Chains A and B, each alone.
Chain A
């Protein structure tokens, strides 16, 4: 039956497996630095996570599987697709002494 489509049973299984492997892995965020009590270092959350931060709080995440770093900081709700300006560098803004 499958032969009429040009597939053998084994070929189809390989195709299905190939598609499954080629699908992008579900992206996750791993908290790698944080001064926010709600988000402890080591916490892993889906990439849809919204980080609710208070003033002065800062969370650095590792985006998996791409292994890129991203920083969320300051009061408000932060998430992966937030508009530009949410994070620029790992350097905290210096407060006047």
Chain B
């Protein structure tokens, strides 16, 4: 049976090689597949048109853990924390120092400090912050941004001085936004973690550095962030406290901070309405913005949980696009007119493939690229029929 099929295919290929119109068809198919492979790789095609559906898929079918993450805790400083202070920005350094010391006293596995310290403020408070980070018993990772943002022309920045005095591991705080392109409209949704940038001032990311402090973990398979959805018991994704709670200034009885933060990786950062708030795929239904600290925590959780999303390699994508173009061409050749149903069914099938590969193989299927290739193949097949 299979041998018969193979023989028939061989026969057709042999006929195609001898027929000018069939040769043209093969050339069409190869050209279409190559063109869309180039579009996919150079313009990051699948990241453009399929944003909404990909984000919906992520928000709907990512993992719901059973309960709150056991190893990560977040401590936020917000406008409410700063109500008694005369200024909101930069954040009072004495307050930051006090929070770091309070967290360190609980015996965390590591502290991640997500504040960019790029300008001097009140000297005594600046010194207090440096001392708190430098002298903490726990492993500390200080967040920073590339030096060229602060010292254009290669000068020595305040941030570099501060990091030298603190003398702790440094992780960059950048995320990867949309791939830069003049063609794709950027929607500023954070879907990717930043690539390890060896040419940047601080090559390793904040989350990577923190994960190293807590153990040894394999690198994620792709830059796509593997998001954790809300736990099934409806607790917050990560144990979350405010700085007021940590400092015992929130009113009410003191919290059992030692029990809550001991041996966890504690991330300290800001939750301000006017800065470092981002759209992520989980924002797709309600437009909710999330603090940068929450995104760092998601990346850290993915690394220490060993979760990854995979993407297809370029050769595999090439083969899939070639198949899509060839089958589309074959279907187009046999149609007496272009059927809307064919196109709709193909969209549904490809969306279903995208969802299933995401759920069962944690794989990002480049469905837009395949769909466009398929439709181009159908059109090329249809319009290259002999009567045209």
A-side residues, CB < 8 A to B, are: 30-33, 40-43, 60, 62-63, 67-71, 80-82, 84-91, 93-94
Q: Please, which residues of chain B bring their CB within 8 A of the CB of A62?
A: 255
CA distance A60 to B68 in the complex (A): 14
Confirm or deny: B247 has a beta carbon within 8 angstroms of a beta carbon on chain A.
Answer: no
- 12 A-B pairs within 8 Å (CB atoms) are namely A30-B253, A33-B245, A41-B250, A42-B253, A68-B67, A71-B236, A87-B235, A88-B236, A89-B290, A89-B294, A91-B290, A94-B273
B67-102 interface bits toward A, Cβ cutoff 8 Å, 1 = contact, 0 = none:
110000010100000000000000000000000000
Q: Do A32 and B245 touch across chains, with their CB atoms under 8 A apart? A: yes
Contact of A33 with B288 at beta-carbon distance under 8 Å, contacts A70-B234, A94-B277 already known: no
CA distance A41 to B250 in the complex (A): 8
> Nearest Cβ distance between residue A36 and chain B, in whole angstroms?
14
Contact of A82 with B234 at beta-carbon distance under 8 Å, contacts A41-B250, A42-B253, A90-B74 already known: yes
Least CB separation from B240: chain A residue? A90
Q: Do B252 and A40 touch across chains, with their CB atoms under 8 A apart? A: yes
Within 8 A of A (CB), among B261-305: 271, 273, 277, 282, 286, 288-291, 294
Q: Do A93 and B250 touch across chains, with their CB atoms under 8 A apart? A: no
Confirm or deny: B251 has a beta carbon within 8 angstroms of a beta carbon on chain A.
Answer: yes
Q: Do A89 and B240 touch across chains, with their CB atoms under 8 A apart? A: yes
Least CB separation from B64: chain A residue? A84
Given contacts A40-B251, A69-B241, A89-B290, 6 further A-B contacts (CB under 8 A): A32-B250, A42-B253, A67-B239, A85-B230, A86-B234, A91-B291
Q: How large is the interface on B (under 10, 10 to 19, 20 to 34, 35 or more residues)?
A: 35 or more
Confirm or deny: B189 has a beta carbon within 8 angstroms of a beta carbon on chain A.
Answer: no
Q: Please, which residues of chain B bring their CB within 8 A of the CB of A33?
A: 242, 245, 250
Q: Do B234 and A91 touch across chains, with their CB atoms under 8 A apart? A: no
Choose among A41, A87, A94 the residue that contacts B288 (Cβ–Cβ < 8 A): A94
Q: Do A90 and B250 touch across chains, with their CB atoms under 8 A apart? A: no
Q: Please, which residues of chain B bring their CB within 8 A of the CB of A32?
A: 241, 245, 250, 252, 255
Q: Please, which residues of chain B bring their CB within 8 A of the CB of A86?
A: 234
Q: Please, which residues of chain A bring their CB within 8 A of the CB of B232?
A: 84
Q: Do B237 and A88 touch across chains, with their CB atoms under 8 A apart? A: yes
Confirm or deny: B259 has a beta carbon within 8 angstroms of a beta carbon on chain A.
Answer: yes
> Nearest Cβ distance between residue A62 and chain B, in whole angstroms?
7
CA distance A32 to B253 in the complex (A): 9
> Nearest Cβ distance between residue A55 and chain B, in whole angstroms?
15
Confirm or deny: B123 has a beta carbon within 8 angstroms of a beta carbon on chain A.
Answer: no
Q: Please, which residues of chain B bring their CB within 8 A of the CB of A40?
A: 251-252
Confirm or deny: B127 has a beta carbon within 8 angstroms of a beta carbon on chain A.
Answer: no
Confirm or deny: B34 has a beta carbon within 8 angstroms of a beta carbon on chain A.
Answer: no
Confirm or deny: B152 has a beta carbon within 8 angstroms of a beta carbon on chain A.
Answer: no
Confirm or deny: B260 has a beta carbon within 8 angstroms of a beta carbon on chain A.
Answer: yes
Q: Do A87 and B236 touch across chains, with their CB atoms under 8 A apart? A: yes
CA distance A63 to B260 in the complex (A): 11
Contact of A41 with B251 at beta-carbon distance under 8 Å, contacts A33-B242, A87-B230, A91-B291 already known: yes
Q: Please, which residues of chain B bring their CB within 8 A of the CB of A93?
A: 286, 288
- Top 9 nearest A-B pairs (CB, nearest first) are A42-B252, A90-B240, A41-B252, A41-B251, A68-B235, A68-B68, A88-B230, A70-B235, A69-B236
> Nearest Cβ distance between residue B185 and chain A, in whole angstroms?
21
Least CB separation from A82: chain B residue? B234
Q: Do A67 and B260 touch across chains, with their CB atoms under 8 A apart? A: yes
